[in-house]
């Protein structure tokens, strides 16, 4: 593997300020050109690849600029103070560098991967608990990701983002609260005073709709 | 293997978001290990988490954060956790093996009476995880419970009312349910049972011994 490259010590130098900007798709709501989608998403997967193969600090700086403020916001919503959230965000981003060789673009988008790393840090930070993970599948990750799978993950992420934005207000708020925060859906019911059944059906409706979109099924 | 009783999306979302107690995380991770459909749903639910992160509000990082992070990186990765116990176990999925510290032969069973044995696994104390061994055809003591309960079958099967739960199946019970699971004939049943708060046995004897058994 490429772990030698990754863990090799290097001088910490002033990294030029990142000038990265994500190309914004201005297509209509439902139809996104594949090329446009792939430019936006491949980029992050490619950044991770550059970190993995070349220990590329410029690629890391751009990833940091994009994701660190999101991870910090996520950790603060979960109850961390700004200082603690900043400290943990640095650790999350360092983990991203150290585990770059484990990222599988055929399985998940970079945003999803970052989310799972930040989530694990949150469990450790707030609950001071181990987090049991499912057993690895016996056949393991593919050595070379299938390009078709990589592309479909990218399209999925794009569709998903649009679908979340299009959710009815109450469902969208609940989805955000379910992922961002430190309450389970039962605790959300207790906290908001809404019946548990209402919380469940709202969350399920939202997830069904998002799943439907992810699979690219047209109504 | 087909798993008939799968975890619901709501609890899978709580797991994906990191909002369950450790003992429930253990039950969910173990169920997902045995149920490919739940694993696929977990992947989808984590993808939603990624999309929420991508489009959430941001909180700016102070100047110098990137440099501090690069210094962290240069210091090398944190010490790796001990590798999981080697080998394969046809009863315990990997997450449970990690807590037992080995395969099924390493479980330190304690008799609870009427042939039933249990082994409490060490987790944070918001909820309790235990392995239960119930001889084929035996009843679990009749119990209601406070809060949430998840029961994952690892060997054999149990019947609860109209439903039969076999390996990989997860029974989730919410508040105020009193039920009487019975191990199915044929094979002794081994389950991972996770409860929020202590069980309330309704029989007199189990209630007396409850404080001593930590159940």
Residue contact A68–B61, C-beta within 8 A: yes
Task: Determine which helix (DSSP H) or strand (DSSP E) holds B159, and give its type and residue range.
Answer: strand B157-160
Whether the predicted pLDDT of A142 surpasses 70:
no
B1-81+91-215 CATH pick, 1.10.150.120, 3.30.1490.20, 2.40.50.70, 2.60.120.10: 2.60.120.10
The mean per-residue pLDDT over the stretch A69-77 comes to: 96
Q: Are strands B128-134 and B149-155 parallel, antiparallel or unpaired?
A: unpaired
Strand partners, B134: B189
Nearest alpha-carbon partner for B150 in B165, B162, B139, B161: B165
- A160 part of contact set with chain B, CB < 8 Å: yes
Query: CB distance B22–A57 less than 8 Å?
Result: no
Roughly how many angstroms between the first and final C-alpha of chain A, as a whole number?
A: 44
Structure tokens that stand for A2 in this block: 């490429």
Site of tokens 């119990």: B143
Of B128 and A152, the structure prediction assigns the larger pLDDT to B128
| Main-chain phi, psi angles of A115, to 5 degrees | -55, -45
Return the percentage of chain B with pLDDT > 70, whole number.
83
- Binary contact (B68, A90; C-beta < 8 A): yes
* Chain A residues close to B28, C-beta within 8 Å: 132
Q: Look at residue A30 and tell me whether its pLDDT is greater than 60.
A: no
Distance from CA of A84 to the nearest CA of B (A): 12
User: For B125-147, how does the pLDDT look when each residue is reduced to its tens digit (9 = 90+)?
Assistant: 889 999 999 999 998 765 666 68
**Nearest residue to B73 via CA among A148, A63, A168:** A63
Non-local (6+) Cβ contacts of A125 within 8 A are A75, A80, A84, A88
> Which of B29, B53, B61 is nearest residue A115 as measured by Cβ atoms?
B53
Residues 6+ apart with CB under 8 A from A10: A55, A57, B74
> How many residues are given for chain A?
219
Which segment of A49-58, A78-87, A193-202, B79-88 scores lowest on mean pLDDT?
Answer: B79-88
Residues of chain A numbered 79-98 and touching chain B (CB < 8 Å) = 82, 85-86, 89-91, 93-95, 97-98
Q: Sign of dihedral through CA atoms B152, B157, B159, B165?
A: positive
Residues 6+ apart with CB under 8 A from A151: A34, A38
Mutate to test the interface with B, among A128, A184, A214 (most CBs of B within 10 A): A184
Mean pLDDT of A26-32: 36
Contacts of A12 (CB under 8 A, 6+ apart): B67, B70, B71, B74
Quick check: A164 and B21 CB within 8 A? no
What's the CA dihedral at A60, A61, A67, A69 to 10 degrees? 150
Interface contact A119-B17, CB threshold 8 A: yes
Higher pLDDT, B210 or B86: B86
Place of tokens 């739960």: B165
Please give the pLDDT value at position A82.
95
Nearest to B191 by CA among B78, B62, B31: B31
Mean pLDDT within B182-191: 94
pLDDT above 70 for B64: yes
> Which residues in chain A have their CB less than 8 angstroms from residue B69's CB?
64, 68, 90, 93-94
Q: Mind listing the domains of chain A with CATH numbers? A: 32-131+148-165 (1.10.1740.10), 167-219 (1.10.10)
Contacting residues for B89 by C-beta, under 8 A, at least 6 apart: B97, B103, B104
Mean pLDDT, all residues of chain A:
79
Residue B155 pLDDT exceeds 80: yes
Nearest CA in chain B to A116: B46
Distance between CA atoms of B24 and A184, rounded to whole angstroms? 12
pLDDT higher at B145 or B124: B124
A119, B16 in Cβ contact below 8 A? yes
Interface test with A, best of B13, B32, B40, B51 (most A CBs within 10 A): B51
Helices of type H across A132-180: 147-165, 169-179
Q: Mean pLDDT, to the nearest integer, of A24-34? A: 36
**Between A and B, how many CB-CB pairs are < 8 A?**
213
Whether B163 and chain A come into contact, CB under 8 Å, resolves to: no
Contact B50/A7, CB-based, under 8 Å?
Answer: no
pLDDT at B48 over 60: yes
To 5 degrees, how large is the angle CA A85–CA A86–CA A87? 90
- Please tell me which residue of chain B has the smallest CA distance to A200: B10
- For A123-135, the pLDDT digits (tens) are 988 777 788 888 8
**Span A143-159, average pLDDT:** 78
Q: Which of A42-46, A77-81, B123-127, B201-205 has the highest mean pLDDT?
A: A77-81
Domain regions of chain B by residue span: 1-81+91-215
Mean local confidence (pLDDT), B20-47: 95
Would an 8 Å CB–CB cutoff place A62 in contact with chain B? no
Q: Is B125 in the A-facing interface, judged by CB distances under 8 Å?
A: no
């Amino acid at each position: 593997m490429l772990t030698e490259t990754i863990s090799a010590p290097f001088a910490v130098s002033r990294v030029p300020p990142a000038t990265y900007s994500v190309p914004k798709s201005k297509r209509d709501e439902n139809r996104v050109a594949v090329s446009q989608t792939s430019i936006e998403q491949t980029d992050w997967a490619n950044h991770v690849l550059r970190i993995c193969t070349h220990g590329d600090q410029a690629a890391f700086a751009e990833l940091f600029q994009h994701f660190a403020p999101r991870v910090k916001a996520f950790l603060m919503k979960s109850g961390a103070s700004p200082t603690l959230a900043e400290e943990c965000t640095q650790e999350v981003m360092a983990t991203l560098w150290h585990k770059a060789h484990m990222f599988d673009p055929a399985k998940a988008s970079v945003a999803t991967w970052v989310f799972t790393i930040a989530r694990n840090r949150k469990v450790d930070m707030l609950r001071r608990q181990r987090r049991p993970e499912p057993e690895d599948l016996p056949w393991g990750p593919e050595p070379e990701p299938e390009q078709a799978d990589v592309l479909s993950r990218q399209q999925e992420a794009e569709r998903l983002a649009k679908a979340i934005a299009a959710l009815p207000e109450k469902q969208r708020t609940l989805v955000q609260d379910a992922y961002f925060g430190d309450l389970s859906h039962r605790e959300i019911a207790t906290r908001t005073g809404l019946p548990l059944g209402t919380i469940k059906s709202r969350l399920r409706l939202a997830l069904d709709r998002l799943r439907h979109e992810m699979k690219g099924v047209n109504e | 293997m087909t798993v008939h009783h799968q975890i619901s999306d709501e609890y899978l979302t709580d797991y994906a978001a990191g909002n369950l107690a450790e003992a429930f995380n253990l039950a969910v991770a173990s169920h997902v290990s045995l149920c490919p459909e739940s694993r696929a749903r977990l992947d989808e639910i984590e993808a939603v988490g990624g999309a929420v992160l991508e489009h959430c509000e941001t909180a700016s990082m102070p100047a110098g954060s990137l440099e501090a992070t690069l210094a962290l990186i240069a210091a090398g990765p944190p010490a790796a956790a001990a590798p999981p116990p080697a080998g394969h176990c046809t009863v315990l999925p990997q997450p449970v093996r990690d807590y037992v510290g080995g395969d099924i032969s390493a479980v330190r069973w304690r008799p609870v009476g009427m042939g039933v044995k249990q082994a409490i696994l060490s987790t944070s104390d918001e909820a309790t995880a235990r392995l239960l061994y119930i001889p084929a055809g035996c009843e679990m003591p009749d119990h209601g419970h406070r809060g949430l309960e998840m029961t994952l079958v690892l060997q054999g099967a149990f019947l609860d009312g109209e439903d039969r739960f076999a390996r990989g199946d997860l029974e989730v019970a919410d508040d105020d349910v009193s039920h009487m699971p019975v191990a199915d004939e044929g094979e002794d049943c081994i389950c991972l049972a996770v409860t929020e708060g202590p069980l309330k046995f309704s029989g007199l004897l189990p209630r007396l011994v409850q404080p001593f058994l930590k159940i």
